[in-house]
Amino acid sequence: MTLTENGKKYIAITFGNVSKCYVASGINWSYTGTDSQTYNESGGTAQIVSRLIMTSLVQSVTYNGQNYTYTALKTANDNTDMTLGDVQWIAQNDGAPAGEAQYCSTVSTGSISCTTSPSGASVTLDGVSQGVVTPATLTNVSVGSHTVTFTLSGYNACPVTVTVAAGVTATASCNLTSGIGGSISCTTNPAGASITLDGVSLEIVTPAILMNITPGLHNVTFTLSGYNACSGSVTVIASSIVTASCTMTPVAATGSIRCTTTPSGAPITLDGMNIGMVTPATILNVSAGSHVVMFTLVGYNACPVSVNVAAGLISTANCTLTPSGTCNTPSCKVQMNQ
């Protein structure tokens, strides 16, 4: 059997029940095959592990909203490959049938081994100083993704993202680079915005950390399709990380108005403004909401039409114009009485 103690604990916490114990049934999950298709499954802890180690057929497993790969499982198992014999051991320790042994883990945290070259760098975990310098090991770190940042006088700050698994020691290491530059941590809500620094597109998207930036004032601009651009200035400090963040605001939703008259050729005004178009025509990029389209043609009564524009849709504004001096419609009567 190649299953290590760290591997056993990881599996119990990740693919067990709420008590972090192996179970024989009652778990629903899905997996993505090497054919890129998704398949739904039901069973116990051993079944999930057996799927993960079938790397020729399975890319990943999704359980409790999280995605897992065999690589992550192997890393937790002290970087040791697992076999069907390990799956059999899990099945023999899942508490079923009644009276069978059931493996449980009470470990809910992991550790991070921190090293730098040169050593002696201060360690910050998720923005909080840990009061230690490298080399050092951070213990009792909650399971999940974390950012470890190393700072050392005369060197650029170095952020490292690590994923901590229960009962496992992750590694965060960095070869520090000398210089006077600083860093900018760029975040947006939603993420995925393109980043421009001092007018130069960096061809990267948020979240990201810009490193080796010359100390001083810099302009950062975020752009994302469907949202207004967001700009701001930050002052970069040598060997430090400053933050540039933005909550993106959606671009105002627009629609269109298709305008027709009988006879055609009537000039069009929108909300009292002459837009330089005559019927038939389509007015584009009209803000969502209520608008008034007015048709005027020499020899005919003006014809106002109320239109409600919906985002992404084409509304219509139609009118059969009546000759001047006649009044056959309520709108016409309104005009005649003015």
DSSP 206-227: SSEEEEEEPSEEEEEEEE-TTB
Query: Do residues 9 and 87 both lie within one domain?
Result: yes
Query: 0.75 cut: is pTM over it?
Result: no
Tens digit of each residue's pLDDT, the chain (338 residues) = 899 988 998 899 889 887 889 999 999 999 999 999 999 999 999 999 999 999 899 999 999 888 889 998 998 898 999 999 999 999 999 999 988 999 998 777 889 999 999 999 999 998 888 889 999 999 888 888 899 999 887 787 888 999 888 778 899 999 988 767 788 999 999 999 999 999 999 889 999 889 888 888 999 999 998 888 999 999 988 778 899 999 998 887 888 999 999 999 999 999 999 999 999 999 988 888 899 999 999 999 999 999 999 888 899 999 999 998 765 555 545 444 44
Tell me whether residue 104 is in a domain: no
How far is Cα 93 from Cα 46, in angstroms, rounded to an integer? 9
Which own/partner contact pairs does 194-198 have at CB distance under 8 Å and 24+ positions apart?
A: 194/222, 194/223, 194/224, 195/220, 195/221, 195/222, 196/220, 196/221, 196/222, 196/223, 197/221
Q: For position 228, which CATH number holds?
A: 2.60.40.1120
Residue reference for tokens 């050729």: 265
103 occurs within a structural domain: no
| Nearest-angstrom CA–CA distance, 107 and 7 | 12
Domain that holds residue 218: 182-247
- In terms of C-beta density within 10 A (0-12 exposed, 13-18 middle, 19 or more buried), how is residue 183 classed? buried
Q: Are residues 170 and 224 in the same domain?
A: no
Reference 305, options 255, 257, 254; nearest CA is 257
Question: For residue 51, what are its two tokens?
Answer: 């799927």
Give yes or no: residues 136 and 201 share one domain: no
Residues 6+ apart with CB under 8 A from 37: none
* Cα(283)–Cα(232) distance, integer angstroms: 35
